[in-house]
Amino acid sequence: MSTPEQARATQLRNIEAKTGQSLETLRAAIAGSGKAKHGEIRSWLMETYGLGYGDANGLAHAASADPKAGAAPSGADALDEIYAGKKAHLRAVHDAIMAAITPWGPFEIAPKKGYVALRRKKQFAMLGPKTADRAELGLNLKSDVASDRIVAQKPGGMCQFAVALTRAEDVDTEVLAVLKQAFDAAA
């Protein structure tokens, strides 16, 4: 599997191919667009260049004045940064999920600023602290989930379902069964 840095570089090369413009030209176009906020830039890129949400979002990050701004921590420090301070106790939830899904087969862990994305051919879940008291497991799954704990999310978000987890014991058979469905669907 590729590293997050390799994935970003590949995404930017694909964006250049899709738009027929270099990254420098795209940065100049963004600078001249009059858009300042990340969401405005992303929407403008989607409208102007016909990019999908993910490509427009990645390009908006790459085109920012400080490419490291908002960047995810990398390497071994990523989880330490995500689960720091008052959120440190939630690392047990993360570890319980990783221990359960590792035997299922290969997948990529892509650290972001405040969570990790879990990917196979496509992202199947995201996991990280939602508040100081609970972690959230977001699930990308098209089928319905009949559960009081695993809640459907509003359309248009990154995940279709989410479940709040406060301790490792919350990672039970119900949660793992739905996570396995998402894992298998992302193959």
Q: Which CATH number fits domain 77-185: 1.10.3470, 2.60.40, 3.30.1460, 3.40.30?
A: 3.30.1460
Q: At 39, which amino acid appears? A: G
| Alpha-carbon span 138 to 112, nearest angstrom | 14
| Alpha-carbon span 144 to 178, nearest angstrom | 10
Q: pLDDT grade, residue 85 (50/70/90)?
A: very high
Residues near 182 by beta carbon (within 8 Å), at least 6 away in sequence: 124, 125, 139, 140, 141
Per domain, the residue ranges of the chain are 4-62, 77-185
2-11, 103-112, 126-135, 150-159: which has the minimum mean pLDDT? 2-11
CB 19 within 8 A of CB 58: no
**Does the structure show a pLDDT above 90 at 58?**
no
| Alpha-carbon span 140 to 158, nearest angstrom | 8
| Alpha-carbon span 132 to 180, nearest angstrom | 27
The two beta strands, 135-139 and 123-129, are antiparallel
pLDDT tens column, 125-182: 999 999 999 999 999 998 888 888 999 998 888 899 999 999 999 999 999 999 999 9
What percent of the chain stands above pLDDT 90? 48
Question: What pLDDT, on the 0 to 100 scale, is given for residue 11?
Answer: 87
Question: What pLDDT, on the 0 to 100 scale, is given for residue 77?
Answer: 64
